[in-house]
Amino acid sequence: MRLNLARTLPRSAANGPGERFVLWVQGCPLACPGCWNPDTWAFERRDLRSVEDLAAVIVATEGIEGVTFTGGEPFAQARALTALAERVRTAGLSVFVFTGYDLDELSRPEHLALLAVTDVVVAGRYVESKRATGLAWRGSANQRVHFLSDRYGPADMNEVAEVEFHVDSDGTLTVTGFPDAELLAFAVDE
């Protein structure tokens, strides 16, 4: 079973609680105006990775407490992400998912299977007019944080990194998290 990814980041503190391995999946049908990652919308082949290989890389990453699925739309690849989540949870890691769907839209069997192995899901479209800073894991105020297991709770939202900068060995700058408009414009220009 394979996943189609846009990119990965082995360690981030701005995409859920603690340090996390982040996967941006490729493909999103929702096309929210103002989306920060429009390069992830197209359902085109990008970086195909086997679930088994990816799980091995994630589990071998030192110092992380979990994995985060974002995108793109994770529930468009629910079956493969469920298989990955099952593997990393077996190793004691937690699972955090950002989705553009509201929770009550996720009713298909493959959606429910992914939710069953998810600790926290942040759900809802990105709505530009409801954008605000300081929303803890959310880009716009309409989005909702759902704690699906007892591993985390609202107290984990108190000390959330808003934004992070990563510079790769080739000089590529990645801005992740929830930057304000000025910072976001800078990142897009870069």
Pick the closer one to ligand SF4 by CB: 39 or 53. 39
Is 89:65 a contact under the CB 8 Å cutoff? no
Distance of closest approach, residue 34 Cβ to ligand SF4, in angstroms: 8
Pick the closer one to ligand SF4 by CB: 20 or 131. 131
Distance of closest approach, residue 40 Cβ to ligand SF4, in angstroms: 6
**Which residue minimizes CB distance to ligand SF4?**
100
Distance of closest approach, residue 111 Cβ to ligand SF4, in angstroms: 14
Pick the closer one to ligand SF4 by CB: 24 or 87. 24
Pick the closer one to ligand SF4 by CB: 21 or 75. 75
Question: Which residues make up the interface to ligand SF4 (CB under 6 A)?
Answer: 28, 30-32, 35, 37, 40, 71-73, 100, 125-126
N- to C-terminal Cα separation, the chain: 34
Tokens encoding 25: 């999946």
Q: What is the largest CA-CA distance in the chain?
A: 42
DSSP string, 63-130: T--EEEEESS-GGGGHHHHHHHHHHHHHTT-EEEEEESS-GGG--SHHHHHHHHT-SEEEES---GGG
Pick the closer one to ligand SF4 by CB: 30 or 59. 30
Distance of closest approach, residue 88 Cβ to ligand SF4, in angstroms: 22
Using alpha carbons, list the distances in angstroms from residue 41 to 62, 73, 74: 31, 8, 11
Measured in whole angstroms, the distance separating CA 26 from the mean position of its chain's CA atoms is: 12
Tokens encoding 58: 């994630």
Distance of closest approach, residue 155 Cβ to ligand SF4, in angstroms: 26
